[in-house]
Chain A
Amino acid sequence: MKTLRLVAHYAVLILAAIIVLFPLYFTIAGALMTDAQLMRFPPMLVPQELHFENFAKVLEAMPLIRQFFNSIFVASAIVLGVLVTSVLAAYVLVFLNIPFKNVIFGIIMLTILVPSESLIVPKYLILVDLKWINSYPGLIFPFVASGFGIFLMRQFFLSFPREIYEAARIDGCGHLRFVLTILVPIVRPALGVLGLYVFIGSYNMYFWPLLVINTPDMQTLQIGLQALNSSESTQPSLIYAGAAIAIAPMLVIFYLFQKSIVRGLTSGAVK
């Protein structure tokens, strides 16, 4: 009876995994089939032979390598910016005695609440005024400070023993030196969690780059996929190959750092 239940449990799990993973499976399978095979009826679900040339073809059709670089560069710059601004701001909020601390914290929390889509028109107009349309600064700077990042760092700093801070200060350790040589090494796992979270979000960003960028060589990979979607509609194999290239780094990151990602995702949910 117990074994039967266990077998049934695994059967349901396997069925669920097949359904949930099918789109991922077929993205990869489709990237390795010819267009004729993809349009066949009844549908072919397993590639007969592996057509790796689809990847070469899609790299020829689109500046995907350049766009890949753009995505990685923009996401990395945003991560660096968020880590620096979050650590500095959270340090002030936790360790320093300054006036209006609650007001500043309130403003930071407000930035989490406001949906970015609400502000899209004035943000776009600011970018036009700054002449940052179609540029890396336009893709990066609006995101280098994150209310969520400051909040998360603040939570970690609050559990940092106050005595160590006071002892270091009495011994003449400066603020910046304390942050760089004592605080940052200790909260490194937390920085990793925040960095991953921000990297995934920035790499996958869609709405903002769609507005800000207007030439193919400046587009990020996500916007490149859109062009692929509309111009290669008779070649589904190229769309699958492009999507497979776009998700590859995220899949690698997801499986390598799953524990950290899970911690980042649940940090706001479960106390």
Chain B
Amino acid sequence: MSAPSLLARRVGGYSVRDLGVAVLFLAPCLIVFAVFVLYPLGRTFHLSFFSNDLLGRPVHFVGLEQYQRIVTDPYLIGVMGTTALFLVYTVLPGIMIGLGLALLLQPKIAAIGVFRALLATPFAFSVAAAAVVFNVFYRPGIGLFNGLLQQMGLPAIDWLTSPNYALGSVAVVSIWRYMGYTLIVCLAGLQSIPDELYEAARIDGASSWHRFRYITLPLMTPTLFFLLVVSTIHSLQTFGEIKLMTAGGPVNSTTTLVYSLYKSAFAYGSSDYGLASALGVVLLLVVTIITVIQFRFLQRKVFYS
């Protein structure tokens, strides 16, 4: 008798039954988030203020020492430089290639759907599959790429074994794999531009360069900005290619922020959880700053439209 009346009751303007259902329905996702995101988030900050014993237990409070290491240790300063260089190699070139291909795929001509599907195919490659296949292509002696270069009378390149080329070689694989995504997003952006604008410009006698410069580019700015943010974050998180192709070498020339985090926590005999956590906090801060900038920009965008 009392159960239905309890469920029908209202507390502070909310129905008790609805509250019960809400708790029940939200519990699965909130438990997962609590255990695997929120608690680890607090714990990452906590661990970053400690140095740990061999079993990974935080034993000595060291304050900001781990962060001090990041800004003073030459190895870690080098890591930050490598991370920045990797962004330079991947982000803008990746977006430019994606936009270029999307422009090629924009006109509604025969069989364009087939080309759209074909050119977006790298999306189907996993990090691991792409990395092991390019490893064979890049091989110094019998590798396919050097074979082709020599056939054309060009000197062989130490793709992955020279500190000058390794980061670029890894960047190529990363750009190639991510290209399907940039291409799809650019194409969707291009398709949202009304055809009438191009028609009007054509009637006014605008050249194809002018149509690109004064219609496509301004109207694509929000899409390109979105891609800039997303690819930067994606690039910062690159791990599999580096682990499988160079393991951070040669002479740390491909050790980026995320890879150094992995190495300090999990490489043989390391277990430096304090430093790894501090590096995790740095990554989190960088990603947060980028995201905040994006929100600011989007707000301005809404204001304009």
On A, residues with C-beta under 8 Å from B are 6, 9-10, 12-13, 16-17, 20-21, 23-24, 26-27, 30, 38-39, 41-43, 84-86, 88-89, 91-92, 96-99, 104, 107-108, 110-111, 113-115, 117-126, 141-142, 144-145, 147, 150, 175, 203-204, 206-207, 210-211, 221-223, 225-226, 228-229, 236, 239-240, 242-243, 246-247, 250-251, 253-255, 258, 261-262, 265-266, 269-270
A9: chain B residues at CB < 8 Å are 104, 107, 109
Q: A119 and B128 in contact (CB under 8 A), knowing A269-B189, A270-B192?
A: no
Question: Closest CB-CB distance, B267 to chain A, in whole Å?
Answer: 12
Residue-wise, chain B 235-278 has the 8 Å CB interface mask toward A (1 for contact) of 01101100110000000000000100110011000000100110
CB–CB A225/B22 < 8 A: no
Q: Are A225 and B132 in contact (CB under 8 A)?
A: yes
Beyond A117-B262, A121-B265, A270-B223, list 9 extra A-B contacts (CB 8 Å).
A39-B142, A89-B25, A110-B37, A119-B280, A120-B265, A206-B126, A222-B126, A239-B135, A269-B188
In the bound assembly, the distance between CA atoms of A240 and B237 in angstroms comes to 26
Least Cβ–Cβ distance between A58 and chain B, in angstroms: 12
Inter-subunit contact B29/A89 (CB<8 Å): yes
| Contact yes or no, B18 A114, CB < 8 A | no
A107–B121 touching, CB < 8 Å:
no
Residues B147 and A41 in contact, CB atoms below 8 Å apart = yes
- Grouping DSSP codes into helix (H, G, I), strand (E, B) and loop, the B interface class, with mixed when no group exceeds half, is helix
B32 near A228 with CB under 8 A, answer: no
One digit per residue, 1 when the CB lies within 8 angstroms of any chain A CB and 0 when it does not, for chain B 100-143 equals 01001101010000010111111111111111111111000010
Contacts of B130 in A (CB 8 A): 23
Interface residue B233 (Cβ < 8 Å from any Cβ of A):
yes
Complex Cα gap A27–B133 (Å) = 7
CA distance A124 to B44 in the complex (A): 11
Q: Is B157 in the interface zone, CB < 8 Å from A?
A: no
User: A residues within 8 A CB of B63?
Assistant: none
- Contact call B128/A21, Cβ cutoff below 8 A: no
- The distance in angstroms between the C-alpha atoms of A107 and B101, with both chains bound, is 38
* Closest chain B CB from A191 CB (angstroms): 16
- Chain B residues with CB under 8 A of A92: 21-22, 25-26
- A240: contacting residue among B25, B118, B133, B288, CB under 8 A: B133
- Determine whether the beta carbon of A270 is less than 8 Å from that of B233: no
Tell me the nearest residue of chain B to A249, going by C-beta. B124
Minimum CB distance partner of A258 in chain B: B117
Q: Which residue of A lies closest to B113 (CB)?
A: A258
